[in-house]
Amino acid sequence: MAVASCHARVLPTFECRSDPGNSKPEPNRFSFKSKPKSKSFVVGVNLYRFPPNFVRQLSNKARRNCSNIGVAQVVAASWSNNDKNGSVAAVDSVTTDVNEVVAVGDGGDCNSNNNNSASNSVVVQSSSDSAALKASFLCADGSIAVHAGERLGRGIFTDGITTPVVNTTAYWFKNSDELIDFKEGRYASFEYGRYGNPTTESLERKISALEQAETTLFLASGMCASTVLMFALVEKGGHIVTTTDCYRKTRIFIQDYLVPNMDVSVTVIDPADVDGLQYALDQNNASGWLVSLFFTESPTNPYLRCVDIELVSKLCHSKGALVCVDGTFATPVNQKALSLGADIVLNSATKYIGGHNDVIGGCISGSMEVIAKIRKLHHVLGGVLNPNAAYLFIRGIKTLHLRVKQQNSTALEMAKVLEAHPKIARVHYPGLPSHPDYDIAMRQMTGFGGVVSFEVDGDLHTTKKFIGALKIAYIAPSFGGCESIVDQPAIMSYWDLTQDGRAMFGIKDNLVRFSFGVEDFEDLKADILQALATL
């Protein structure tokens, strides 16, 4: 497989039949009085020469879809008009309203007995990261989730609807001149598997479209994304501001690794403590310690606190600090952190984006400038997403809006039921007016997610009994999948600490985190009510 050159040749307009069946061919734009005997034809003033065995280099479907000579011969002719150094000329083909540039690569010497196989029609193409965003006819997240990065902006040229999995560790060059062109920026290639993959690139474009980002970097896990991001953006002696309520492993990484090994200092504030953030920004600037990064979740884990992203972004930017929002609980369907002013949005794609509890990965979205710094370190450290995992994420994202819509609805209705129940002491859900950040959530979210945290009216053992009586939800870590998952944070994530140690992090023994899946609402409601009835 070769990657197409970025030097495009503008070809004459041609037409393809919309029906690939056996209908009568329409008149051909490139008409001949008789079948040409030579392997060339003339369009305008340009002579196009066919390479040997060019028919074998085209899929049967490509030849069948295009009237007589049409696209097939024009594409084949472009292969024979390469530069002297052997680089492949690209072909401009306006195939949709997105003005997408499709760069067709060298088809190679394909086996003539396998022309119907999908692999014979798959070549890498050049496409802009923002190609999918140019589709004015795709306005809703649901449509973008299905088509962005694939039909619109896919880095692989194929007539298959689904994006192929490119399992390769390296990408070859036809000769040393082509390699030099790559090194000097005139030829596009990933070169090595750690630096990129066509399947993963399609996934990254899909996330970029959903997050309204210039670019996205996918990594092997959500924590891999978090750690590489902080290593890349926080210099030695820098300062991080983060929040009290957050994923425990993120806190451990900052306190146990960044602080002692990078001489990084940390300020921890309440998610709603804007004055505390302003004080940290002022103090550190006054003392010569520059705040490099404000890293926050919104909503947070496990109390689902919400940060005023627009406000904190303005404060941080006035002091030269970057803002990263971990939007895993929100998803790009419910919240657009970048449009609210954040510099970076991070997702543990393992959760809602994958959506099926079967694949692990993490992604970082933002501007080209900021993500380039993270990508550079990522290329050194590794942490590469497997292309098979990328395929599963692509598949999962196509139903993201449907799943999240169902989970939003179920969680909100169940939060109301739980809040009214006499055996529940308190419910934490940003869609409820009783939540401390309800007003913020209403301003910056279109849905409140599928996770509800609540406190059972009882102790550790009473809460254990409630969870043990549930019949539908799995007792497991993680959240956001099709299956409902329940856990007791005091046991699942903080059992290594004493009760007092857990209290220091705000983790109560009676706290339950319930991730609602896509099961029927009435079934979930009946199951929770019967479990509460056992107390």
Residues 276, 369, single domain; the answer is yes
Buried b (16+ CB within 10 A) or exposed e, 372-393: eebbeebeeeebbbbbebbbbb
C-alpha span between 343 and 323 (Å, rounded): 5
Residue 499 main-chain phi, psi, to 5 deg: -60, -40
Residues 332, 427, single domain; the answer is no
Residues 197, 178, single domain; the answer is yes
**What global pTM score does this model have?**
0.76
Count of CB atoms situated within 10 Å of the CB of 449: 30
DSSP letter, residue 18:
S
Sheet of 344-348: strand order equals 215-219, 362-366, 344-348, 322-326, 291-297, 239-243, 265-269
**Which residues does 342 contact at the CB level (< 8 Å), separation at least 6?**
309, 313, 323, 324, 325
Find the domain containing 382 and state its range.
141-399
Count of CB atoms situated within 10 Å of the CB of 236: 9
3-state secondary structure (DSSP) of residue 388: helix
By the 8 A CB rule, do 135 and 14 touch?
Answer: no
By the 8 A CB rule, do 106 and 135 touch?
Answer: no
Q: Name the average pLDDT for the chain.
A: 81
- Residue linked to tokens 């973008």: 144
Residues 219, 364, single domain; the answer is yes
The reply to whether 62 falls in a domain is no
Residue 420 main-chain phi, psi, to 5 deg: -90, -5
**Which residues does 71 contact at the CB level (< 8 Å), separation at least 6?**
14, 16, 62, 65, 93
pLDDT in tens, 257-316: 999 999 999 999 999 999 999 999 988 766 666 789 999 999 999 999 999 999 999 999
The reported pLDDT for the residue numbered 283 is 82
C-alpha span between 535 and 37 (Å, rounded): 88
- Residue linked to tokens 């909100």: 412
pLDDT in tens, 32-63: 334 444 444 333 334 334 444 444 444 444 44
The reported pLDDT for the residue numbered 158 is 78
Residues 252, 206, single domain; the answer is yes
The reported pLDDT for the residue numbered 310 is 98
The helix (H) or strand (E) run that includes residue 492 is: helix 489-492
Residues 428, 452, single domain; the answer is yes
The reported pLDDT for the residue numbered 287 is 61
pLDDT in tens, 379-404: 999 999 999 999 999 999 999 999 99
The reply to whether 95 falls in a domain is no
Residues 308, 444, single domain; the answer is no
Q: Which residues are catalytic?
A: 194, 247, 326, 351
The reported pLDDT for the residue numbered 402 is 97
Residues 315, 405, single domain; the answer is no
Q: State the maximum Cα–Cα separation within the chain, in Å, rounded to a whole number.
A: 91
Residues 180, 273, single domain; the answer is yes
By the 8 A CB rule, do 319 and 297 touch?
Answer: no
Binned average pLDDT, 10 residues per bin, the chain of 535 residues: 40 38 39 40 39 44 38 35 37 31 34 37 47 62 85 74 93 96 95 96 95 97 97 93 94 94 92 93 73 95 97 95 97 98 98 98 98 97 97 97 98 98 98 98 98 98 98 97 97 94 94 98 98 98
CA angle 22, 26, 30 (to 5 degrees): 125
Residues 416, 464, single domain; the answer is yes
pLDDT in tens, 102-130: 333 333 333 333 333 333 344 555 444 44
The reply to whether 109 falls in a domain is no
Residues 394, 438, single domain; the answer is no
C-alpha span between 177 and 192 (Å, rounded): 18
The reply to whether 75 falls in a domain is no
By the 8 A CB rule, do 494 and 505 touch?
Answer: yes
| CATH number reported for the structural domain that contains residue 270 in this entry | 3.40.640.10
Residues 319, 270, single domain; the answer is yes
In order, the DSSP letters of 236-279 are TT-EEEEESSS-HHHHHHIIIIIHHHH--EEEEE-TT-HHHHHH
Number of structural domains (the chain) is 2
The reply to whether 456 falls in a domain is yes
The reply to whether 124 falls in a domain is no
